[in-house]
Amino acid sequence: MSSDFEGYEQDFAVLTAEITNKIARVPRLPPDEKKQVVANVEKQLEEAKELLEQMDLEVREIPPQSRGMYSNRMRSYKQEMGKLETDFKRSRIAYSDEVRNELLGDDGNSSENQRAHLLDNTERLERSSRRLEAGYQIAVET
């Protein structure tokens, strides 16, 4: 069972490395290539979420006495996934602002600031929701 988990871990590590690389490249790509890379990253993020779900299922099947180590790893992977999603959102915002500026010739600083502020608030809400869900799960388990 832990070998399945370790296999998922390796797949997750490879996938997150690819996603990170592509996110970093987005600002420097030509517009037509950006669309392809953004679509590809969206697919890979979904794959990574599915891997996390599989890993979570594996952790639930591990005996309680050895589950702690795996739970800590899962927490770390979920945080990493959240960071990747945040980085991707930011790269998409920069990309969409760039496209808008090309079309409209607009400076757009206020829009960028508003989006950054909105993104920060959204992240805060997502963190709070995760904490509430974790608390609910603990309450359900006890």
More confident: 16 or 120? 16
How many Å apart are CA 54 and CA 106, to the nearest integer? 45
Task: Supply angle C-alpha 6, 12, 15, rounded to 5.
Answer: 145
pTM greater than 0.75 (yes/no)? no
Give the residue-averaged pLDDT of 29-55.
91
Distance linking the first and last C-alpha atoms of the chain: 25
Percent over 70 (pLDDT), the chain: 87
Which tens digit of pLDDT belongs to each residue from 66-109?
Answer: 888 888 899 999 999 999 999 998 887 765 656 666 666 655 56
User: Mean pLDDT for the chain?
Assistant: 85
Angle separating helix axes 31-61 and 64-104, nearest 10 degrees: 170
Tell me if residue 30 falls in helix, strand or coil. coil
Integer CA distances (angstroms), 72 to 18, 76, 106, in order: 23, 6, 46
Quickly name the fold that domain 2-141 has.
Methane Monooxygenase Hydroxylase; Chain G, domain 1 (1.20.58)
pLDDT of residue 79: 95
Q: Where are the domains of the chain?
A: 2-141
pLDDT of residue 74: 92
Residue 56 tokens read as 């979570």
In 3D, which of 117, 10, 142, 51 has the Cα closest to residue 109? Answer: 117
Angle separating helix axes 64-104 and 109-141, nearest 10 degrees: 160
Residue 124 binned pLDDT confidence (cut-offs 50, 70, 90): confident
Which tens digit of pLDDT belongs to each residue from 51-74?
Answer: 999 999 999 988 888 888 888 899
Q: Strands, E, within the chain: which ranges?
A: none
pLDDT of residue 49: 96
